[in-house]
Structure 1
Amino acid sequence: MEWFTTAPDAPGLHAILALWAVVAISAVFRGFTGFGFAITAVPLLSLVVSPMRAVALATGLQIVGGLVDVRSAARHCHWPSIRWLVCGVVVTSPIGALILTCVSADVARLLVSAACAAAVAALSLGLAFRHMPGAAGTVAMGGLAGLFSGLAAMPGPPAIVYYLASPLSPVQVRSSLIVFFLFAALAAGISLSLTGALGRMEALLALVGLPIMIAGSALGAFLFRRLGGAHRRVSLVTLALVALLTAAKGLAGLL
């Protein structure tokens, strides 16, 4: 702890404790929904540290958390859609990371908020696919997810809309999102490393937060097994709250 608080680029002690609290909350949500880590962690972390560092931390934690869960999730995920989504993400994730280096912190927060709000609106209006989209539509959705992945470590809104609107079962949806987010995080991590955003301090903070990530995800998975019927409703309510909170912070900074 002393090293963290004395290093030149380290957040303060209170900020570190707040970061770990956010990781715990977001990990529980991730374990329950299969997608909720970055979409809750990035907006909340950006209230404590810069959006750039929030994105880097969320990306690092998603990578290590995904590696822990991928073996069990791979048995139930929908692999054909995963492959096409990842193709889109790989192409556009570097573009999103480049945009992140060019916009202000408050503009980045508003973009994150808009992404969450768009996902909530689409799903609340009853968007649903009778059949799984084809390769072209899935690659396009993956490309949109890649932009948000590089920009805010949040491929979530497009991917969430895609899978929650699909005819897949809740177990398949959750497993597919876990596997997809691992690949998306790996792509974003490479992009962020190349831009210098994912550095030594971010990697160490993510490593120290890993036990919290694992424990929170396990608790969320337990809740999913007990309360799986509430999966969609909880997802929408949480997305809406995150959108409102992040928009308020971004607008306050701009005004």
Structure 2
Amino acid sequence: MPEGLIPADMPTLAALGPVALVIALSALFRGFTGFGFAIIAVPLLSFALPPLLAVALAACLQFLGGLMDFRGAARACHWPSLRWLAAGAVLASPPGTLLLAGLPADLARLLIAAACAVAVLALVATPGLRRLPGPGATLAAGALAGLFNGMAAMPGPPALAYYLSLPLTPAQVRSSLMVFFLLSAGLSCASLVAIGAIGRREMLLALAGMPIMLAGSRFGAALFRRAGGAHRNVSLAALALVAALTAARGIAGLLGSAP
């Protein structure tokens, strides 16, 4: 590639190897469970990249991947709940992005780890509801998801807790989450562009990572068809491990910078 087309601040080849591996593992998780690309990708990418760049790359990949799934998901999506959830996310995503931009890297890692921990707790302890909650509760859940989305490209924990508690069919839950994640990724990308966090470097990385993401998602879907219901326990274990590793990295960084 001619000199000048590659941004000077592009990660080195030594960093790109781990980044490609993280994208593959996160896509595998997404294909295996039907959700969670950013939940896995953001914490692990933050080991090799600055947190803001990790969030930007995950948001771009999640948006591009979501576009591929939209047509099928839109047919089974539960639109009445999604409208209020999306409205809350629209309101809260920009403040979350501003919070991310002003945080020290290690503190951002701790907040990302906390988001993963919340996802584990939500998937374990979310009670089932007998009827759909009202617009106010759905709007609040969407606002919390939007805050997570802007701060870490990670709307999954609140959205999962909401949809897994609803009396909907598995197909409606999965499709609604897929459409919501596409919308939230678009919001996150727009907020990141507004603060200058997505530019040529981030787009080049996302385009380079897209084939890896698509291949990993397809392989994960094939594994899901073989494993059946075992995927839930694997998901919880993976999320708990990522939360612990990311928290350890953030704590070590904060202690190392202490006088």
CA distance in 2, matches of 1:53, 1:72: 30
Deviations 1:108-147 (A, max 9, x none): 1111111111222233235322222221111100000001
Deviations for 1:192-230, whole angstroms, at most 9, x for unmatched residues? 000001111001100111111111111222233333412
Cα deviations by residue, 1:134-189 (Å, 9 ceiling, x for unpaired): 21111100000001111010011101111222233333322221111000000111
Correspondence for 1:164: 164
After TM superposition, the structure 1 = structure 2 runs for residues 1-255 of structure 1, keeping only pairs within 5 Å, are 7-255=7-255
Give the 3-state SS of the residue equivalent to 1:101 in structure 2. Answer: helix
Moved more, 3-12 or 45-54: 3-12
| Unaligned stretches of 5+ residues in structure 1 | none
Closer, same or farther: CA 4–83 of 1 in aligned 2, 3 Å: farther
- Largest Rg, 1 or 2: 2
Preserved contact between residue 6 and residue 201 of structure 2 (Cα < 8 Å): no
* Structure 2 letter corresponding to 1:89: A
Letter in 2 for 1:30: R
| TM-score, scaled relative to structure 1 | 0.94
1:73 Cα shift?
Answer: 1.7
Structure 1's 17 and 211: CA in aligned 2 closer, same or farther, altered over 3 A?
same
Q: 1:77·1:172 contact (CA, 8 Å) conserved in 2?
A: yes
Q: Is the 8 A contact 1:5 1:13 kept in 2?
A: no
Decide whether the 8 Å contact of 2:7 with 2:200 is kept in 1: no
- For residues 25 and 4 of structure 1, what CA distance do their matches in structure 2 show? 31
Worse-matched range after superposition: 97-106 or 76-85: 76-85
Judge which range, 222-231 or 107-116, deviates more: 222-231
Kept after mapping to 2: 8 A contact 1:34/1:175 = no
Q: Distance in 1 between matches of 2:51 and 2:101?
A: 10
**1:35-61 CA deviation, whole Å, 9 max, x = no partner?**
210000000000000000000000000
Moved over 6 A (4+): 1-6
Give the Cα–Cα distance (whole angstroms) in 2 for the partners of residues 157 and 20 of structure 1: 24
CA contact (8 A) 2:126 2:164 kept: no
Amino acid at match of 1:36: G
* C-alpha displacement of 1:4: 9.9
* Partner SS for 1:168: coil
Please identify, of 45-54 and 155-164, the stretch whose mean Cα deviation from structure 2 is larger. 155-164
CA contact (8 A) 2:123 2:160 kept: no
Mapped contact 2:95–2:147 kept (Cα < 8 A): yes
Give me the whole-angstrom Cα distance separating, in 2, the residues matched to 1:3 and 1:136.
53
Name whichever of 121-130 and 203-212 sits farther off: 121-130
Q: Which amino acid aligns with 1:162?
A: Y
Distance 1:76 1:226 in 2: 23
Question: RMSD of aligned C-alpha atoms?
Answer: 1.9
Q: 1:126 to 1:189 in 2, by over 3 A?
A: closer
Distance 1:42 1:187, change over 3 A: same
Contact 1:148 1:154 in 2 (8 A): yes
Secondary structure (helix, strand or coil) at the match of 1:46 reads: helix
**Structure 1 stretch displaced more, 68-77 or 35-44:** 68-77
Q: 1:221 to 1:134 in 2, by over 3 A?
A: farther
User: Judging changes above 3 Å, is the alpha-carbon distance between structure 1 residues 222 and 231 closer, same or farther for their aligned structure 2 residues?
Assistant: same
